[in-house]
Structure 1
């Protein structure tokens, strides 16, 4: 038989960190679910709107811009919308994120929330994939079944 396995101190530390993260997430989830109509209370008693994000990752914004300019991103857009996509919006998001890093945390959160609110308003009136594709009203039955092959013969 083999030697008895001793726990790796790195794994024990990672497990403890994971348990701490999960408990923090659970407390955040319970505190946010107790708030009413998308609002949460701060310690001072003042309410803040939580409908729009207040944080923005510049790395994620850069990755989205890079993907938009890539061949795969453009192919996906041609498939969905029937044309190439202008990636100016993604580039503007990345520049915006980099610019907000020079502001304080309160101003940064307000700027990010305002930007997401503005983008949500534009998204509702923008184009969608339904401008190219028709919505299927009748579901396909037996698309890959053996019954269709027999009928086609």
Structure 2
């Protein structure tokens, strides 16, 4: 029932508002519904056949995930460090008169 619970949790107001805030659009929960339907469809299969079908589905999921964009696509790797970071501390910034006793 975890897949069904995940589908329902995706559709609640909090999840939809979070998706709207983070991504600018409402969450599409069709993937979670497809996972639940897949689980129900393999319920009557033989355990070995069920395992093979599940492994194939996971392999397809990973292949699709590698083809799609990732949050890591936003960032560029630096080839050299930033200049003047962190900024050097000036002696005027450190006040030795105010200490905590």
Distance 1:111 1:117 in 2: 10
State how far apart, in whole Å, the 2-side matches of 1:75 and 1:120 are.
27
Which ranges in structure 1 are unaligned for 5 or more consecutive residues?
A: 1-58, 140-146, 148-153
Q: CA deviation at 1:128?
A: 3.5
Note if contact 1:65-1:87 (Cα within 8 Å) is conserved in structure 2.
yes
Shift of 1:129: 4.0
Distance 2:20 2:67 in 1: 20
Name the residue aligned to 1:5.
Answer: none
Matched pairs, number? 81
**Pairwise CA RMSD:** 2.7
Which residues in structure 2 correspond to 1:1-153 (within 5 Å)? 59-129=1-71
Shift of 1:126: 2.4
CA shift in 2, pair 1:67/1:128, >3 Å: farther
Taking structure 1 as the reference length, the TM-score comes to 0.44
Q: What TM-score results when the alignment is normalised by the length of structure 2? A: 0.64
